[in-house]
Chains A and B, each alone.
Chain A
Amino acid sequence: MVENRPWLTVFSHLVLILGIGVVVLPLWVTLVSSTHAGEDLLRSPIPMWFGNQMFENYSQMLSSGMKHVSGQPLTGMMLNSLIMALSIAIGKIAISLIAAFAICYFRFPFRMTCFWLIFITLMLPVEVRILPTYEVIANVFTPLTKLLALLGYEGTDVVIAGFSIDLDVSMLDSYAGLTLPLIASATATFLFRQFFLTVPDELTEAARIDGAGPMKFFRDILLPLSRTNIAALFVILFIFGWNQYLWPLLVTTDPSYATVVMGIQRMVNVADIEPQWNLVMAASMLAMLPPVAIVIGMQRLFVKGLVETEK
C-alpha cells in the first residue's frame, strides 16, 4: 500500500521511534549499568553513560562470580545453559522430523490417533504438567510403580528370576532431567507435518522410481528441502531453551547444574545486603549474547524459513 500523505509518514515514524525506544531503553540501561561500580548505581539519578568499571565487572563475573551468592563463575552456568538450549533445540528437531515423517509418509494402524495424541499435548505445556513431570523425573519408574500399586504390588523393587531390580532412577540434577521433558514437542512435529504435506507427491514417486527407499528419501530429499524450516525452528527453540527458568529451578539443586537464567535470579534475591546491580547487569548482558549471536548468525535462513513458499 502506497500512501502519499506527509503527516502520515511523520506519524508512523514517531510510532516506530517510540517503539524502538521502549525496546532499546532497558537494554541501554543494562549495558551502561554494567560498566559502573556498584555504589554509582545506588545514587540518583542512575547514570546514562558508560562508566570505567566495565572490564572489572565482566571479568569478575566470568572468573569468580558473586562471592556471597554461591561464588560461582558465570562461565559454568553459561555452559549449562548452552548444553540445555542446544539439547532441547536439536532433540526437538530430530524427534519432530522423524515423527512428522512417520505420520506423513507411512500408513500404519492408528496413524491419525498418534497424530492427535501428539497434537493434544500442545494443550499441556510444562507449566501445566509440572508436578507429574517432576515426579517422573524424580523417579523414572514412577508410572510403573503406580501401575504395580494399582495391581496390588507395593514397594519399589521387583524381583525377576532371583534378581532384585530397584525401580528407582532419578534424573534430578542431571542434563537429562533438564532437557528431556522439554524435548517432546507437538509444535515442531505439527510444523514439519504441514511442511511435508506441501512437498508434491510426484517428488516422492519420482524418488521411488529412482530406487530411493524411505530412509534414503528422507535423507536425500526431505531433509535438504526442510533446511530452512529446520534453521528457523532451531533459532526459535534455542531461545526457548536458553530462557527456560521454572523447570531448571525445580529439577536442579546442585549449583553445578545451575543455568544462567537461574543464576541471575539468585543474584538478585540476596538476603540482608543490597544486590550488586552492576554485576547483575553484566551477567544479564553476558546471558543475552548467545541468543543474539544465534539470531544474527542464522538471520538469513531464519527469515527464509518463515516466509519461503516456493519449493
Chain B
Amino acid sequence: MANLQISGVEKVYPNGFKAIHGIDLKVEDGEFIVLVGPSGCGKSTLLRMIAGLETVTGGTIQIGDRVVNDLEPADRDIAMVFQNYALYPHMSVYQNMSYGLRNRGFPKAAIEERVQKAASILQLDGLLDRRPRQLSGGQRQRVAMGRAIVREPAAFLFDEPLSNLDAKLRVQMRVEIKQLQRRLGTTSVYVTHDQIEAMTMADRLVVMNAGVAEQIGTPIDLYEKPSSVFVGGFIGSPAMNFMPGQVEADGRHLTLADGSRLVLPADGRTVEPGRSVTIGVRPEHLMPSSDTDSALKFEIVLVEHLGADTLLYGLASAVQGAGEGGLLTVRMSGHHVMPAGTVIPLVADPSHLHLFDVATGRRI
C-alpha cells in the first residue's frame, strides 16, 4: 500500500515526438484513479511509464517514498493487467499466477497460500490446472487479475483490461474489479478510452488530451463543471451540445446565432457584456418550451427510444449559423412520440449552462 506521486512527468520519443507534456498527479493510498481520453492522448504511455516499460524523459515518478524513475519494472512493487491478458500460454493457471513469486524466490508454501487465496477471491479454484486457452475471456481476465493480486503490490496498473470482453461481461467485470479494489484497498491506476467505464469506476478521473491532463477530479465534478470544451464533449453520453453565443448588454442573457435567447445562470458569475462565448449544454438540460418567441428552433430528424429516456436528434440553426444548422441532441425522460420534421421550441436550464472561451476553450 502506498501513494503514487507524479511530478512534471514528460515523455519525448527519440524521434522528437513529445507524447506527455508535463503531468502532475498525486494518487492517495487506496485511491482508484482512471486515466481516460481518446486514442493517442498519451494515457497508455503514462501508465507504461509508471510501470517502467517506457523511460521517463522528464520529471519524477514516486511510489511510496521511493523515486522509481530508473528502477526495473520488477523492482517497482507494481503489478499490471494487460489488455490482451498476456498470460503465458504454455503455463497452467497456477503457474501463471505464481511465476512472479517464484522469480522472487518465495518459499513454496507461501506461494501456495497466496495463490489459493487469490484463486478463491476470484472464483478460480477449480481452474488452477487449466491452460489459458481452455478458459473463457472472463476467466482469463480473472487469471490476469490473480497474477496481479498474489504479488500484493503497492499499486495495480490496468491497461484497458476490459476492452477485449463482450458488453455484458464488461459490465460484470467492471463491478468485480471495483469491488476487489475496494476490498484490497490497493492504489490503482486504470487506463480506458470508455468514458462510462471511467465514470463508474473512478474515485478520481484524469481526462487527457494530446499529452496534457485537461482536468483532474471526481466523476461528478467533471460532469458538472468541465474545465474545457474538450472535457465537456468527452465526458457524458450522449455528448454535450455546443453552440456559439454572445452575452447581451444586460449581462444576464445570451443571444444565439439564430436570434433566440437563453437566460444566464444567476449564480453571481459575471461575464462582460458583448463577449462571444461557446455555450455548452447537456442533452438532458434542454427542454421543450411554450415560449415560441425567444426559444431556439429545433427540427427533429431522428428519435431514439431507450425505454427510460427518449433521445431526440435534430437540426438547429443556432448550432452552426449558416444554412441548415447543426445537429443538436435532446434527452427527455419517459416516452415521447414525435414524428420527424416536427419543429419544437427549446429552452435550456439556466443553472446548467456552461460557458467557454471561444479561443482557448477554457471554462469561464
Contacts and interface: CB of A to CB of B under 8 A. Distances in A.
Interface stretch (B73-81, B230-238, B243-251): B73-81
Nearest to A212: B103
A111 interface: no
**Size class of the A contact interface (CB-based, 8 Å):** 10 to 19
A202 B72 contact: no
Interface stretch (B86-94, B122-130, B258-266, B308-316): B86-94
Interface string A196-237: 000010110111111110001000110011010000000000
A311 B104 CA distance: 26
A225 B131 CA distance: 13
Contacts of B215: none
Nearest to B83: A202
A220 B73 contact: no
Interface in B52-81: 52-53, 72-74, 78-80
A206 B82 contact: yes
B350 interface: no
B88 A203 contact: yes
B72 A210 contact: no
Contacts of B51: 205, 209
A131 to B, nearest CB: 45
A310 B80 CA distance: 24
Contact of A200 (B72, B74, B84, B90): B84
B80 A209 contact: yes
B100 interface: yes
Contacts of B73: 205, 208-209
A205 B86 contact: yes
A205 B82 contact: yes
A205 B100 contact: no
B99 interface: yes
A225 B79 contact: no
A210 B83 contact: no
Given A209-B51, A211-B103, A225 B74 contact: no
- Interface on chain A toward B: helix, strand, loop, or mixed SS? helix
Interface residues of B, number: 23
A1 to B, nearest CB: 29
Contact of B74 (A203, A208, A310): A208
Given A200-B84, A206-B82, A211 B74 contact: yes
A93 B182 CA distance: 50
A210 B75 CA distance: 9
Given A208-B74, A209-B79, A225 B103 contact: no
A206 B51 CA distance: 10
Contact of B89 (A209, A210, A212, A225): A225
B103 A203 contact: no
Given A200-B84, A203-B86, A209-B79, A220 B99 contact: yes
Contacts of B99: 207, 210, 212, 220
Contacts of B84: 200, 202
Contacts of A227: 90
B90 A202 contact: no
A208 B74 CA distance: 6
Given A211-B74, A216-B103, A221 B88 contact: yes
Nearest to B75: A211
A21 to B, nearest CB: 42
B54 to A, nearest CB: 10
Contacts of B89: 225, 311
A224 B99 CA distance: 14
Interface string A160-173: 00000000000000
A220 B72 CA distance: 19
B80 A206 contact: yes
A221 B83 CA distance: 19
Contacts of A202: 82-84, 86
Interface string A168-208: 00000000000000000000000000000000101101111
Given A208-B74, A209-B51, A212-B103, A225 B86 contact: no
Contacts of B104: 211
Interface in B122-152: 133, 147
B88 A209 contact: no
Interface in A123-153: none
A210 B73 CA distance: 8
Nearest to B76: A209
A116 B52 CA distance: 31
A262 to B, nearest CB: 41
Contacts of A311: 89
Interface in A282-311: 310-311
Nearest to B105: A211
A189 B89 CA distance: 23
Nearest to A227: B90
Interface in A101-136: none
Nearest to A310: B133
Contacts of A212: 74, 99, 103
Contacts of B88: 203, 206-207, 220-221
Given A221-B88, A227-B90, A310-B133, 19 more contacts: A200-B84, A202-B84, A203-B86, A205-B51, A205-B73, A207-B88, A208-B72, A208-B74, A209-B52, A209-B53, A209-B74, A209-B78, A209-B79, A210-B99, A212-B103, A220-B88, A224-B90, A225-B89, A225-B90
27 contacts: A200-B84, A200-B86, A202-B83, A202-B86, A203-B88, A205-B73, A205-B80, A205-B86, A207-B88, A207-B99, A208-B53, A209-B52, A209-B53, A209-B73, A209-B78, A209-B79, A209-B80, A210-B74, A210-B103, A211-B103, A211-B104, A212-B99, A224-B90, A225-B89, A225-B90, A310-B133, A311-B89
List 3 A-B pairs, minimum CB-CB distance, nearest first.
Answer: A211-B74, A210-B100, A202-B86
